Every structure is written in C-alpha cells, then in structure tokens.
Amino acid sequence: MLEIKNLHKVFENVTALSNVNFIAQAGHITGLIGQNGAGKSTTFHSILNFINYDGDIKWNGHQITENDFNDIGYLPEERSLMINLTIEQQIIYLARLKNKTVAEIKPKIDDWLNRFEVKGTKKSKIKSLSKGNQQKIQLICTLIHEPKLIILDEPFSGLDPVNADLLKREIFLAKDNGATIIFSSHNMQNVQELCDRLVMLNNGNVVLNGDTQEIRDSFGKTKLYISTDKTREELLWLDHIKSVQTRFKNHYLIQLDNESAGKEIFEKLVGNQYTDQFSQEPPTLDEIFKMKAGEHIE
C-alpha cells in the first residue's frame, strides 16, 4: 500500500502540490488525472524521491528508500531508451539496475516480446524500431522484473487501440498478481476502463478522490441512451427532458433534469415493449474532467 499525506511542493514561487492526500492499495489500479501542469509528474517524482518535498509518503508503512527501488517499476512520460543498444541489451541493462541477473531476465525476453507483439527481434537495435515499438520496449523494461509498485506516466502514448489493449492486459495481470498500480493518462476512456480508484489534481489540489464508479454516480445518472421510434421532436415534448441528441437512426442521447425521471420516461416510452437500448448513466469521466478542470482553486 502506498500512502501519501499532506504532500506539498513549491518550485520558487509556484505551488506545484498543495497538501495532497490519497492511498493506493495493493491489487488496485489508481488513476491520477489532471490537466498539463496539474501536478501529476511532480507527485510521481516525489514518490520516487527524485525531488525534495514536504509531507509524508510511505510504502507498506515505511519511508521509501533505495532498498525499495528494486520493487518499483516506473515508466516516465518521456522516452528514455538508449537507441544504439539492441532490445536485449536495453532490457538486461535496466533489469540489472533492479538487481536482477542476466540469467534471470534473458530467458524471459522472447516471451515478453511476443506478449507485446513487438515488431523486431531481441537483436534489433532500439533506433530501428517505430515509436510505438520503442514504447513497448520501455513498458517491458518497466514490468519484466515484476515490480510490486508500478508507476506509469502516460503509458498509452504512441500506442494505437490494438496495442493499447495489449498494455491493458498486462496492467490487469499485474493487478491480479497484487501489484499497487498508479498511472496517469489524458485518455479518460482508458482511465474509466482500468481504474478502481481515481484522484484528480487541479492546480496542485485534489479535487476528486474515491472509487471511480462512485465518483461518476455522485454527479447523477442524468444521461439516457435510448432506442425508440419516437421522433426527436416528440421526445422534447416529454417532461424532465432538457435536450435530445440524435446519435443515429432511432437512437438518442437524452439529458434529464434529474435522475429520478428515468423510471417515468421508461414507462412512457418502453413499458412492456421491446427495446434494444435503454441505459441511464452518469456523466463520462471525460465530461467530469472538463467540469472539474474548469473550477477555480483558491
């Protein structure tokens, strides 16, 4: 378990973090989100002791020391591979920094390359790889020593949807194996799909902190996805409907004035008739992100 209490960081006259508090549990995935400059990377750098900070950060009940670094996997936002090395050389070099031997790591490399579907062999030089495949190698370097604390700063950068799914599979596997995982992403769909818990920073302040679904539900289930033969104009005449957006033929997104109206709308439009869609949902994380990012923090 990673516990952060009253984390505070000032760079000259700029407050990067202001009394940040959250817990990341073992076997859970925590999403750290926020606009550029919100304090995400500063939080990661504080956890890793890259910078001095005020506050208290504990890993399994103790301060993080050099002895813990072998159990940490960190993927920085910036690509940091040595392009003249081969894939095998690069993976082994970084694994040895985590106190792993060549004999431990070398037999695993082909399997990891297959798992991430890397286009190249272990003898290929890093500089010969595409940006997406370089990102995969950096991810393998982050995970191959089976860390217990995994910190991923924008891990999906440069990955198309197919390759992003390969990474998600590995993140879920690490979670199932009991790792504590924290990652940042500007893609709220990835955050919504992966994260058990969510922490959002705005100007260095925590503005959201809790179970991901509970946070969404707290904003009210006022979005209604429905299939009906009613026209948009007919729907707008119903009570409690603020707006109607046509998604495609006979399928609409309705904004309700309150979530309790869902049952009434269901009875009026569906009743005992079949419909292939009637789904009442809270705002997406993308919508919540935009709401909270626009808030002014004193």
Q: Give the span between the Cα atoms of 271 and 263, in whole angstroms.
A: 10
Q: Name the stretches of the chain with pLDDT < 50.
A: none
What kind and span of H or E run contains 267?
helix 261-269
Token pair for 195: 């994260």
The residue among 79, 9, 81, 75 whose CA lies nearest residue 46 is: 9
Note the pLDDT of residue 85: 97
pTM of the prediction?
0.89
Name the DSSP class of 120: S
Domains and CATH numbers, the chain: 2-217 (3.40.50.300), 220-281 (3.30.70)
Burial 108-129 (b: 16+ CB within 10 A, else e): bbeebbebbebebebebebeeb
Q: What is the pLDDT of residues 184-216, one digit of tens each?
A: 999 999 999 999 999 999 999 999 999 999 999
Name the DSSP class of 278: E
Note the pLDDT of residue 22: 97
Name the DSSP class of 86: B
> 217 CB contacts (<8 Å, ≥6 apart)?
282
Looking up tokens 């190249």 gives: 120
Contact 279, 224 (CB under 8 A): yes
The whole-angstrom distance between residue 11's C-alpha and the CA centroid of its chain comes to 26
Note the pLDDT of residue 241: 92
